[in-house]
């Protein structure tokens, strides 16, 4: 199964998503600084994939500092986590993974364990759990898609954005595998074209029918009756169900509501931030204006024109029909109540909301 990140030969290896679909180039990353730059420049991107890459970065730091003794190795892991935490502010999976790695490092150090080896195991575990979560999300979400019809997705919430399989694309993959006749409409997703470059590439590889549209075509297609459902990923979900995802998702949700089309959010539980009461507190990353003034490296606007470039927006819970996680599905009209119940779910004895 396609995975965008792995740890091999003492390096973090990343499929460079800036160069897709033109070429498939794997970056061999040997330092936390290099990895941080790879996250900042979107060589690796997508909320769960960023978390996984950062976890491998902590393991890399422990390995490199291992020779100088356990205390220095633990300090190196803490420093790595601090640097990685400064890369991108919106996706909570990054902070979730770093916190898990930091705590595990402290446990290992206190027990006199092998920090380098055990932290690598922990990062691999985070990776494996995310892949399994995506498959479960796919299974649960597929049931919510119609037997046939058009499904709109925005950005890329596929294998490239996760440990493998994908969240929104995982739902689509599972629905197609279950025999549903789904035709995907992929928003191109300006400014960085994750939909055009990555979602279209992934779905073509799988042989899933996909049509690429410019972002401003969605309303027209909805009015023509060609879209029966929307499914998107998430970067952070507040406890009331407000959801941050790629800029433009909010617009899609408003259009979907106007046309009476359901919108599903698919995300692993590591994307849910129960500490935040609502979406107003989600930090929105603001990126370099050159991304808007240019298109695939060529200038398409006067260099001096002011721009805003928020990388994400927040879709209010009131516009979302369901949030599909591996723990279960939170459904309107009580997304907040369902998220609360899922949060309290005993994972060793799962049951309750499905
Ligand atoms: O800026 P990006 O490409 O990292 O943004 C990615 C998204 O917004 C995805 O939809 C989200 O991270 C979910 S990925 C499973």
Most informative mutation of 5, 20, 42, 246 for ligand 1 (most atoms within 8 A of CB): 246
pLDDT at residue 175, rounded to an integer? 98
CB 116 within 8 A of CB 62: yes
| Per-residue model confidence as pLDDT tens digits over 205-220 | 999 999 999 999 999 9
Sequence-separated (6 or more) residues with CB below 8 Å from residue 22: none
Distance CA 77, CA 32 (A): 10
Most informative mutation of 4, 5, 195, 245 for ligand 1 (most atoms within 8 A of CB): 245
Structure tokens belonging to residue 92: 């909570």
Distance 247 CA to ligand 1 centre (A): 9
pLDDT at residue 265, rounded to an integer? 99
Alpha carbons within 13 A on the beta-carbon side of 89:
11
The radius of gyration computed from the CA coordinates of the chain, to the nearest angstrom, equals 20
Distance CA 24, CA 154 (A): 22
- pLDDT over threshold 80, residue 32: yes
Q: Is the peptide bond before 21 cis (omega within 30 degrees of 0)?
A: yes
Residue that the structure tokens 């633990």 belong to: 74
- Indicate which residue's Cα is closest to atom 6 of ligand 1: 46
- pLDDT over threshold 70, residue 348: no
CB 188 within 8 A of CB 230: no
Ligand 1 is surrounded, with C-beta below 6 A, by: 42, 45-48, 91, 155, 157, 161-162, 167, 194, 233-235, 245-246, 311
Alpha helices in the chain (DSSP H): 32-40, 47-65, 70-85, 92-110, 115-142, 168-177, 194, 200-206, 218-223, 249-258, 290-293, 335-343
Residue length, the chain? Answer: 354
- Indicate which residue's Cα is closest to atom 8 of ligand 1: 246
Instruction: Tally Cβ neighbours within 10 Å of residue 238.
Output: 24
- pLDDT over threshold 50, residue 352: no
- Indicate which residue's Cα is closest to atom 10 of ligand 1: 233
Phi, psi angle pair for 39, to nearest 5°: -75, -45
Q: At what angle do helices 115-142 and 70-85 cross, to 10 degrees?
A: 40
| Per-residue model confidence as pLDDT tens digits over 234-264 | 999 999 999 999 999 999 999 999 999 999 9
Q: For residue 311, give the ligand 1 atom closest to its CA.
A: 1
CB 222 within 8 A of CB 255: yes
* Cα 28–chain centre separation: 22
Alpha carbons within 13 A on the beta-carbon side of 28:
4
Distance CA 241, CA 75 (A): 37
Distance CA 221, CA 17 (A): 29
| Per-residue model confidence as pLDDT tens digits over 290-327 | 999 999 889 999 999 999 999 999 999 999 999 999 99
Distance 232 CA to ligand 1 centre (A): 9
Most informative mutation of 4, 15, 44, 45 for ligand 1 (most atoms within 8 A of CB): 45
Distance CA 231, CA 133 (A): 17
Structure tokens belonging to residue 84: 């990685």
Distance CA 282, CA 47 (A): 14
- pLDDT over threshold 80, residue 353: no
Average pLDDT over residues 55-78: 92
- Secondary element (H or E) of residue 295: strand 294-295
Structure tokens belonging to residue 126: 């985070």
**91: alpha, beta or left? (left if phi > 0; alpha if psi -120 to 50):** beta
What is the overall mean pLDDT for the chain? 96
End-to-end CA distance of the chain: 27
Average pLDDT over residues 168-187: 98
pLDDT at residue 343, rounded to an integer? 97
Q: For residue 245, give the ligand 1 atom closest to its CA.
A: 8
Please indicate whether residue 235 is annotated as part of the active site. yes
Q: Active-site residue among 235, 242, 273, 338?
A: 235
């Amino acid at each position: 199964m396609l995975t965008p990140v792995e740890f091999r030969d003492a390096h973090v290896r990343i499929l460079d998503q800036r160069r897709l679909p033109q070429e498939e180039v794997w970056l061999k990353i040997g330092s936390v600084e290099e990895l941080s730059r790879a996250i900042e420049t979107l060589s690796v991107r997508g909320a769960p994939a960023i978390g996984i890459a950062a976890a491998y970065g902590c393991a890399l730091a422990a390995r490199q500092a291992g020779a100088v003794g356990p205390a220095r190795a633990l300090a190196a892991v803490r420093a790595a986590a601090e640097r990685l935490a400064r890369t991108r502010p919106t996706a909570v999976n990054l902070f979730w993974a770093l916190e898990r790695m930091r705590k595990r490092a402290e446990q290992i150090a206190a027990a006199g364990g092998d920090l380098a080896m055990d932290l690598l195991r922990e990062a691999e575990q985070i990776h494996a759990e995310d892949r399994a979560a995506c498959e479960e999300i796919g299974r649960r979400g597929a049931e919510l898609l119609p037997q046939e019809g058009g499904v709109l997705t925005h950005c890329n919430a596929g294998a490239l954005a996760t440990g493998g399989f994908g969240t929104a694309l995982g739902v689509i993959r599972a629905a197609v595998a279950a025999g549903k006749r789904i035709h995907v409409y992929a928003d191109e997703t300006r400014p960085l074209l994750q939909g055009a470059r990555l979602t279209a590439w992934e779905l073509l590889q799988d042989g899933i029918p996909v049509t690429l549209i410019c972002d401003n075509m969605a309303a027209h297609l909805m009015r023509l009756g060609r879209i029966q459902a929307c499914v998107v990923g998430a970067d952070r979900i507040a406890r009331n169900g407000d959801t941050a995802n790629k800029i433009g998702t909010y617009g899609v949700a408003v259009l979907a509501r106007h046309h009476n089309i359901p919108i599903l959010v698919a995300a692993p539980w590591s994307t849910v931030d129960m500490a935040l009461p609502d979406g107003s507190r989600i930090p929105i990353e603001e990126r370099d204006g050159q991304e808007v003034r240019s298109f695939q490296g060529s200038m398409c606007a006067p260099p001096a024109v002011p721009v805003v470039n928020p990388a994400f927006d927040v879709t209010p819970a009131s516009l979302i029909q369901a949030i599909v996680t591996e723990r279960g599905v939170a459904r309107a009209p009580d997304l907040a109540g369902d998220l609360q119940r899922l949060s309290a779910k005993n994972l060793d004895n799962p049951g309750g909301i499905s």
